[in-house]
């Protein structure tokens, strides 16, 4: 009986430790020994409900910008993403190359801001939580920081205080230190992360309800979309 309880406890602990739901820590340039990224990689996500399934895919190809080209840096870039005023290329091929976990798998081997924009009208990043979380291996890699959401007015916050509710957040981002992730031997890696979203439903009186949804892609090299 004691062994059975111990095995059950270990099994539960294993599920908790491997579930990708760890908050991203704050980024400190001195502590990490590297500056914040210059590059930002931008991906638009189209999400639809299909019966009991959720279909999510990139609706545009990966678009990389240099944040130093904009006087306001990353804050200006994400606001332009929100307002759709960046000069996106014509390429619309957003699908990942093999191998990949799901259509939202990312490929990255650089230090970048990873920016997501939701295009579906019935979706937003979580109004009462951080927009991203990471798995255990991703956390141990010390490569992911600064989960941020951008509200409908362009204001940025980390969503860390659930008492601060923000609605209409279609854009969110985090820092990924891809140089560090590929520094091992061999240089390939796969790290799980989550997008924390709200599915929005409005009744005939325009009263909205918000259903929390978690989408769990990965970031890797090689493979994925990049």
Walk along the chain (226 residues) and give the pLDDT tens digit of each residue: 344 445 554 444 444 344 446 999 999 999 999 999 999 999 999 988 877 788 888 888 889 999 999 999 999 999 999 999 998 877 666 677 667 778 889 999 999 999 999 998 899 999 999 999 999 899 999 999 999 999 999 999 888 887 788 899 999 999 999 999 999 878 899 999 999 999 998 876 678 899 999 999 999 999 888 7
pLDDT of residue 19: 47
The percent of the chain in helix, strand and coil, each rounded to the nearest 5, is 20, 35, 45
pLDDT of residue 115: 97
With b meaning 16 or more CB within 10 Å and e meaning fewer, what string describes 194-222?
bbbbbbbeeeeeeeeebeebebbbbbbbe
Name the architecture of domain 20-221.
Answer: Sandwich (2.60)
Do 171 and 114 form a contact (C-beta atoms < 8 A)? no
Question: What stretch of H or E contains 197?
Answer: strand 189-202
Contacts 24+ apart (CB under 8 A), 163-166: 164/128, 165/127, 165/128, 166/127
Give domain limits for the chain.
20-221
* Distance in Å from the first CA to the final CA of the chain: 51
């Amino acid at each position: 009986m004691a062994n059975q309880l111990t095995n059950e406890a270990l099994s539960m602990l294993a599920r908790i430790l491997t579930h990708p739901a760890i908050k991203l820590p704050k980024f400190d340039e001195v502590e990490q020994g590297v500056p914040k990224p210059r590059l930002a990689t931008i991906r638009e996500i189209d999400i639809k409900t299909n019966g009991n399934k959720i279909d999510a895919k990139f609706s545009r190809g990966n678009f990389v910008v240099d944040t130093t080209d904009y006087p306001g840096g990353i804050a200006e870039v994400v606001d332009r993403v929100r307002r759709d005023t960046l000069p996106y290329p014509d390429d619309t091929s957003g699908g990942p190359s093999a191998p990949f976990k799901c259509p939202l798998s990312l490929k990255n081997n650089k230090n970048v801001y990873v920016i997501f924009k939701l295009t579906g009208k019935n979706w937003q990043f979580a109004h009462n939580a951080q927009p991203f979380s990471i798995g255990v291996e991703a956390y141990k890699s010390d490569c992911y920081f600064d989960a941020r959401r951008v509200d409908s007015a362009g204001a940025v916050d980390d969503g860390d205080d659930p008492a601060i509710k923000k609605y209409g957040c279609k854009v969110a981002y985090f820092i990924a230190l891809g140089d560090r992730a590929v520094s091992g031997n061999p240089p390939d890696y796969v790290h799980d992360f989550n997008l924390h979203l709200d599915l929005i439903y409005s009744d005939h009186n325009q009263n909205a309800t918000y259903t929390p949804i978690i989408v769990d892609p990965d970031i890797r090299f090689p493979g994925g979309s990049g």
